[in-house]
Amino acid sequence: MANEVAIDIRDVSKRYGPRWALARLSYSLPVGRSLLLTGHNGSGKTTLLRMIATASFPTAGTLQVLGKDSRTDREAIRHQVALLSHASFLYEDLTAAQNLIVLGRLMGLEDPARDSAALLDRVGLSARTDNPVRQFSAGMRKRVAIARLLLKAPALALLDEPFGELDPAGIAQMEGLIAELKAKGTTLVLATHMVEQGIRLTETRLPSGAPGPGSTR
């Protein structure tokens, strides 16, 4: 696995109308490694993560994720990739437990209710498992999204500003999640404004001056 490539970006550009969000980006990330993306708002971090997650496609260039083409193998990629973003993408009228159970059933888990309960307890929501997500604060929604990511156990985890909306306990929990994912050999891409924290949590960074949506120093 060490010699395999998780993300292979070849001369990728992305345009929204007349504005280029990314221009001629090339980068390869090996399986099991971590990448830190930093940069100011509007520098293209979220755009890149959304393309890797197949939520959008490059305007030009090619993008392969876990050996599959992002345009033609979209569904296969989505089974192995999890995106934790600003939007929770939770079902608002379902409870926290139901949100995870739905995913667990789609994944074919033997006992999704048991697994969901354990994960919600782990993220500090054991007392709110039966409450609709629409009643949750932004931080609580983020915790449900964290539990959902753990349930999916992705080969590639994409974390877009994962510390936002979390209290100190939630931030510590997120750091623990990142450490756990790395220990399991999960390929990780972390986009954050918290540069020093990001450097500490990841091991692979875009080199200074390289073309791309982020910068590291």
Per-residue confidence (pLDDT) for residue 166, from 0 to 100:
86
Q: CA 178, CA 159: separation in Å to the nearest integer?
A: 9
pLDDT averaged over 10-residue windows placed end to end, the chain, 217 residues: 82 94 95 92 91 96 97 95 90 96 93 96 94 94 92 95 88 88 93 87 54 35
Per-residue confidence (pLDDT) for residue 205, from 0 to 100:
43
Per-residue confidence (pLDDT) for residue 3, from 0 to 100:
58
Report helix, strand or coil for 181.
helix
Q: CA 96, CA 89: separation in Å to the nearest integer?
A: 12
Contact 19, 207 (CB under 8 A): no
Q: Residue 100: CB partners within 8 Å, gap ≥ 6?
A: 112, 115, 116, 119, 120, 144, 147, 148, 151
Per-residue confidence (pLDDT) for residue 82, from 0 to 100:
95
Q: Residue 79: CB partners within 8 Å, gap ≥ 6?
A: none
Extract the tokens encoding 200. Answer: 């500490």
The strand pairing partners of 84, in sequence order, are 159
- Please compute, for residue 67, the number of CA atoms within 13 A of its CA located in the half-sphere on the CB side: 6
Q: What is the pTM of this model?
A: 0.86
Residue position matching structure tokens 């876990």:
66
Q: What is the Cα Rg of the chain in Å?
A: 17
Contact 205, 35 (CB under 8 A): yes
